[in-house]
Amino acid sequence: MINEKSFTFIEILVVVTIIVLFSGYSIVTYSNFTQQKILEKEASFLVDVLSLARGKAQVSEINTDCSGSGTDEFGGYRVEINASNYNFKQCCRDINTKSISYCGSNIQSYNFNSSVSKISADPTVDFYPLAAGANETTIRLKSNSLSKCLDIAITATGVITVDNIPFSC
């Protein structure tokens, strides 16, 4: 009698099923990881732009003349954040009230990745000249495909912090 060694159809079917299940799980996990990294990258890039605005305001780097009306002076820099993009501008303020009276045209515009959007209410962040700080606010960015969010907080002194771990929102 010949002793042949081989696999049965059931054994092969079980192994193939296990491989398919692990492959499917790996693809979903990798996709979620990729979307989370896109959210973190967009938050990091926004923090870089906010830091640039803060730095330009602190050293009073003036690109536009605010003295045209006679009652305005350099007021700092503003980052306007919309659902899908954000803009960086220089602003002028009233000499007496120190409140921003108007902002010039966009110095630079940036677009979020299509899977990321801003969902927080406050659309602007102002950084005031010299060491005058900023308007205190929190910006929430959301990954639309993951339903996870990251918060970027700006304190009244102009300190910018970002969450390290995305949370469900």
Whose tokens are 């306007």? That residue is 80
Contact at 8 Å (CB) between 73 and 57?
no
Whose tokens are 């009073």? That residue is 60
Q: Is beta strand 116-118 parallel, antiparallel or unpaired with respect to 100-111? A: unpaired
Mean pLDDT, contiguous 10-residue spans, the chain (169 residues): 76 92 88 92 94 91 75 90 92 87 90 91 88 89 92 93 89
d(CA 58, CA 102): 19
For the chain, domains (ranges, CATH) are: 37-168 (3.55.40.10)
Q: Is the dihedral of CA 13, 17, 18, 20 positive or negative?
A: positive
Q: What is the pLDDT of residue 3?
A: 67
Contact at 8 Å (CB) between 129 and 76?
yes
Q: What is the pLDDT of residue 62?
A: 84
Output the pTM of the full model: 0.82
